[in-house]
Amino acid sequence: MFSRYWIYLALFLIPIAFVFDVRALLVTSALLLTIIPVAWLWNHLSLRQLTYQRTFGERRAFPGEIVDVTLRVSNQKLLPLGWLLVEDQWPPALPPVEGRLFLSPGGQVGYCLNAFSIRWFERINRHYRVRCTRRGFYPFGPVRLASGDIFGLFRQQVKEDHLDWLIVYPHVLPLETLGFPPKEPFGEVKATWRLFEDPSRAVGIRDYQPDDAFRHIHWKASARRQELQVKVYESTTSHNLVVFCNVATMPKHWQGIKPLLLEQTISVAASIANYAFEQRYEVGVVANGCIPHSDQSIKVLPSRRPDQLARVMEALAAVTSFATSSIETLLLAESPRLPWGSTLVVVTAVITDDLLDALLHLHDAGRRLVLVSVEEEPLPQELPPAIERGTYHLPVSRFAGDDRFLGAAEEGAEWIPDFAPPIRFAGGSG
């Protein structure tokens, strides 16, 4: 509201008040010349020592879950704020359970708007609950804070670019629900426990169990922790399973995408990885998709690290529909870099002749292969016998009754954030 003409008006009224002896005009001029500097200083200090924070009940969730979000504004100075407007950018795919988001004209950006009145050294919290409707990496932010003086003459705003991320994992189902056999769905496994270990290569420690040998006790670690610890040795043989996820849902990736098929493919890949981790496999994932604003294929090397499942789920949560290469090209390029005894599970929504040729080539080379098809149409009748024995058909109708999965693609397109997730997916086999 302020304009320099307010000052000109106050200076113009002073001589008029003296000439015509109008005290009201003199008082008005004095008020204007007093209020304007005070208001300017108030506005100048309004956004100083003001903090805005977001606190999440969980940083990772599954589709269908509800996450608590707390917005906290703290005024850490003696100067109160008569008004404060907060415009926080939220992903439209995560709407609050109570209230609503204000969408941009294109509908790609949502805004959570709040207004506050804060006293000196006061802290105000606003609580929201957001429903996770689909997988993905979701940034919260940036935020714009606007405030000014109590008289409404001046106004200023500041933009904070700090982002908070919420990860929504792919939908995970038991393999029996998907149609896999309950016993050894990916081939015969001779033993699930380590039968041979290399005593010269210790890779860590763990809590003592009654069936552990006395000579394996790590006495120094036990003394530090005040409980028995045993050495963990590197096994000479281990079971590896690598999931190859094909994000292309058409014979040619440039022909377009089918969002429901894409989400089902990623969900099946996540379910297989979850099963393998529970069975103590060294599990990894490779996808011909990429994270937003990147052109590199996603790759998490097989490992049995405690956080390996979280790394795999984060990779599948971030993958987009942009295919960096064909799945058969990626399969032939990455398979030589994987341990020889690995089981390669290919999850795809479309089966092409080039893919079958690549699988036959790997089968002839001695690789253990499993092909999982999620397309609705029946499998081709001319599948080679060597591949047909390890092939599963999981049509999209299997998910028809699961609202958590269908919500991931109900709007017909995936949501891609404007910022790349600040994580690194590729890792070693440590």
**pLDDT tens-digit readout, 268-309:** 999 999 999 998 899 999 999 888 777 788 999 998 888 999
Asked if residues 143 and 160 have their Cβ atoms less than 8 Å apart, the reply is yes
Distance CA 21, CA 157 (A): 43
Could you tell me if 305 and 374 lie in one domain?
A: yes
Select from 4, 31, 3, 5 the least CA-distant residue to 17: 31
419 part of a folded domain: no
Q: Are residues 33 and 57 in the same domain?
A: no
Total number of domains in the chain: 4
pLDDT at 201: 58
Residue 205 in domain: yes
pLDDT band at 18 (very low <50, low <70, confident <90, very high): confident
The verdict on 392 and 289 lying in the same domain is yes
Is residue 412 in some structural domain? Answer: no
What distance in Å separates the CA atoms of residue 407 and residue 180, rounded to the nearest whole number? 24
Work out the pLDDT band at 142, boundaries 50, 70, 90. Answer: very high
Co-location of 155 and 179 in the same domain: no
User: Does residue 416 belong to any structural domain of this protein?
Assistant: no
- 319 lies in the same domain as 290: yes
Residue 392 lies in a domain: yes
Q: Encoding tokens for residue 280?
A: 């103590």
Q: What is the mean pLDDT of the chain?
A: 83
Residue-wise pLDDT tens digits, 146-172: 999 988 888 999 999 999 999 999 999
* pLDDT band at residue 13 using 50, 70 and 90 as cut-offs: confident
**CATH code at position 243:** 3.40.50
Say yes or no: 83 and 101 in one domain: yes
pLDDT at 247: 93
Residue 385 pLDDT exceeds 80: no
Whether residues 129 and 269 fall in one domain:
no
Domain-located, residue 90? yes
- What average pLDDT score do residues 338-342 get? 84
Quick check: 420 pLDDT over 70? no
Read off the pLDDT of residues 400-416 as tens digits, 9 standing for 90 and up: 555 445 444 444 334 33
Tell me what pLDDT residue 6 has: 67
Residue for token pair 């792919």:
170
In a domain, 396, yes or no: yes
Q: Contact 389/379 with Cβ under 8 angstroms? A: no
For 331, the domain range is: 175-191+238-406
Sequence-ordered strand ranges (E) for 133-184: 136-140, 143-148, 155-160, 164-168
Which residue(s) pair with 230 in the sheet?
A: 206, 217
Cis, peptide link before residue 251, omega less than 30° from 0: no
d(CA 83, CA 52): 15
The better pLDDT of the pair 406, 241 is held by 241
Q: Are residues 380 and 328 in the same domain?
A: yes
What per-residue confidence (pLDDT) applies to 19? 74
244 lies in the same domain as 392? yes
CATH number for the domain including 149?
2.60.40.10
Do 266 and 312 fall into the same domain?
A: yes
pLDDT at 15 (0 to 100): 78
> Are 34 and 153 part of one and the same domain?
no
Distance CA 128, CA 70 (A): 6
pLDDT band (50, 70, 90) for residue 359: very high
pLDDT in tens, 227-239: 999 888 655 455 8
Nearest-5° Cα angle at 137, 404 to 254: 85
Question: Do the domain assignments include residue 413?
Answer: no
For residues 317 and 352, state if they share a domain. yes
The tokens of 135 are what? 């997988």
